[in-house]
Amino acid sequence: MSLYIGVMSGTSLDGIDIAIVDINDNQILLRAAETYPFSPSLRKDLYSLINTGRAHLQQLGQVDMALGHAYSEAILQLLAETNIAPTDIKAIGCHGQTIYHAPDAAYPFSMQIGCASVIAELTGITTIADFRQRDMVLGGQGAPLVPAFHQALFHNPDEDTVIANIGGISNITILPADKRQPVLGFDTGPGNVLLDQWYQQHHRAMYDENGRWARDGKVDTELLNLLLADPFFMQPLPKSTGREHFNLTWLTNTLVAFDKPIKAESIQKTLLQLTVRSIADAVKQYAENASSLYVCGGGAHNEVLMQSLRDELTNIKVSNTVDLGLAPDWVEACAFAWLGMQTLHHQSGNLPAVTGASKPTILGAIYSSSEAS
């Protein structure tokens, strides 16, 4: 038994995903998983950091430490609920909360917070964090990092497969049946981030459950084409993006340029179609031989979005990763447990064909705990 913990909190800010995973020779068994909500004050602070891109240094330091404490409490709670001792865990792989992603800066960087020193000390478990930076030092985008895990877990020697992760931002992994062919992976654009932010402007809830509000609207083709005219969608690979680019300000500026009356629910439906079209266009361009597409992330629960994907990709089977043996909510948390294992065993975790790095490299920094086994 080799137990690892994966910790993930994504751009949707919908909570802390914790997964306890048994990994042996790339055989991956999910032992337990749970999502723990952020406290309202912590979520507010994270939202402010991400959406303004500005912070007093004291605020940044305090939120970094507070998030480390929140991660630790969630980890210890799941261990208590499952009667698994911290000493039974080999390591924690913690993605951290991305607050700024700048792959095109003069000195490219990607900043994740959630202090790993806090996690290692409070849990007594060796913790691996800061996964993106080393790939970026080698000229990579630092994202997406999950395609290596997708390859290890989901490769099908009988067909080309696409894994689509629809979180706040969407990304796809293209897994050729022929292992001699390179795996491709990249961000396709907004996933749920614009849908959630627009919904929150008009309702007292965090997201449009099952796409019910979007279902009441109609896609405005002219607005959709204006949204799709953003240069990111035409950018060559490798590429990655985040809330720094696709956010409510970006949407508001586009609506000002659109300058026509349109119902709020039709904007929601058009944003949903933006997510769908950007994924479908990427699949058609880069994975024309794929037979199946499996969705993970929160978007897998949006039936209107899933049906729209099926309508756009009529020649491909569209379902979610349950069909591959892993529920869509836990794929990313499991991925960072696996990436933590790779780092602990001095194995590379990036795919240069995906990120654009000049070579494979060991990812992350190890915060050792003398209490861990």
**Which residue ranges are tagged as binding site for ATP?**
10-17
Which residues, 6+ apart, have CB-to-CB distance to 222 below 8 Å?
A: 258, 260
Residue type for position 204:
R
Per-residue tokens: 132: 């993106």
d(CA 120, CA 68): 9
Among 57, 77, 62, 58, residue whose Cα is nearest residue 122:
77
What three-state secondary structure class fits 333? helix
Nearest to 320 by CA among 334, 336, 309: 309
Q: Are 171 and 144 in contact (CB under 8 A)?
A: yes
Q: What is the secondary structure of 18-68 as a DSSP string? A: EEEEEEETTEEEEEEEEEEPPPHHHHHHHHHHHHH----HHHHHHHHHHHH
Tokens of 260: 């026509």
Binding-site sequence positions = 10-17
How buried is 329 (Cβ within 10 angstroms: 0-12 exposed, 13-18 middle, 19+ buried)? Answer: buried
Structure tokens at 107: 């000195």
Whole-number Å distance between alpha carbons of 255 and 267: 9
